[in-house]
Amino acid sequence: MDTHAAHPNTDVSTILWDSIEKKRISIRPFFTETADNGPTMKAIEKAVIASLNAEKKKRGTDETGSAEWYKDLKPSLLKIGAVTLAPSTVSGKGSGLTFHYPPYAVGSYVEGEYVAFVPWETLKPYLTPEGARIFGGARPKGDDDDPQ
């Protein structure tokens, strides 16, 4: 929590849980490589920024300075944001990845939280066979509702 500004702030952390194995998992095995600044992470970062820009446009926020808000996003698993699997219209599959950002992370406090969605089709060239088995279908209608 940052209490040095006009508004307190929170952070977001996620845990990916394998309900069959009953243990915490990483997204690393889903991809052929996840090196910092590697092709997978650069593609994910590009897709996250495109999703954030679309959401900012939808909310009618000022796009000036977006690059400044995104300066802390890096093509690295540890710097791209808190990640979860997005639900799918296909049972047992994920429709992609969602990245969660608290207020101040990628926009001003008044903008609130952001969730960036990266569809599995964008990830497809970088998936391992295990990753390809996890994804399919589309994001259910209503899953992209504004988190505020």
Backbone angles phi, psi at 138, to 5 degrees: -125, 165
Average the pLDDT over each of 12-26, 68-82, 125-139 and give the range with the smallest value: 12-26
Q: Identify the pLDDT of residue 11.
A: 72
Q: Identify the pLDDT of residue 52.
A: 93
CB contact burial 50-84 (16+ within 10 A = b; e otherwise): ebbeebbeeeebeeeebeebbeebebebeebbbbb
Predicted TM-score (pTM) of this structure: 0.84
For residue 25, list its beta bridge partners: 16
Cα(first)–Cα(last) distance of the chain, in Å?
19
The residue among 28 and 104 whose pLDDT is bigger is 28
Per-residue pLDDT for 2 more than 60? no
Per-residue pLDDT for 147 more than 50? no
Contacts of 119 (CB under 8 A, 6+ apart): 47, 95, 96, 139
% of the chain exceeding 90 in pLDDT: 53
| Token pair recorded at residue 122 | 């964008």
CATH T-level assignment (fold) for domain 27-134 = Actin; Chain A, domain 4 (3.90.640)
Q: Identify the pLDDT of residue 42.
A: 97
Per-residue pLDDT of 99-146, as tens digits, reads 999 888 888 878 888 999 999 999 999 999 999 999 999 999 988 754
Per-domain residue ranges of the chain: 27-134
